[in-house]
Structure 1
């Protein structure tokens, strides 16, 4: 018999995160964008204040409402032309958001949970030094280094 290491179970998306993803798509369409970016996901998070991710962001920012306006202004620069039909159907994700989704399972495992929540997307987004969300967030003092100390107690409670 060959000794094989048991792989840890893969985390799965929580129902709350699935709803936020759908909401971020609707946000993108409402802002006349033909893509879903991390900015749209953050806007969906901020619009749902009961989520742990929104609560963490609110604790770290002086004005989450001003941050939301900044995010909206950023994506407004990428609106489709007024004469173009409104985006519909499945929208592509930005590379920044794809990166966050590819890394969030590892963050969830490190925090000791099998369900991926929006909170698990924040570290990968803020860790990208050239990412749009990392740059916009840094202007408000929200950085990976500031977020990390808040995540450690949450991870300890979940184990």
Structure 2
């Protein structure tokens, strides 16, 4: 008999340092948690600048963004606590694909800047369609068209027509 907790050689089921779990992705997860907290906090700050409701019972245009940002703050705080407690929540063990990240960031900026000229619904549709082309998969053109059309339909139909929100 050996003094191991697992019969499988080189198993990751038993911790290597007397009960300590290796934290391979600690810094990645810590950065993600902090960025998520900052993003949600900024979103909350911006939603507080939106006007309040006009009558009793009217929630006003700032209500939904405020609720989304508070939810984001709560989820980000829970994520940060999990990271600080030592939970390895995964991360990239390989090199980060800088070209793909830069492409997505550039696409995001283009959609934000183009929304006032072209329209938010069209920019979201084109942006998400092009973004799907940056990821591998089967039938990329069909996926891009379906994704772009779906996002356009959600932005135009749900927010523009059904909820009657003024979109740029």
- TM-score w.r.t. the length of structure 1 is 0.31
Query: In terms of Rg, which structure is larger?
Result: 2
Higher RCO (C-alpha 8 Å, min separation 6) = 1
- TM-score w.r.t. the length of structure 2 is 0.30
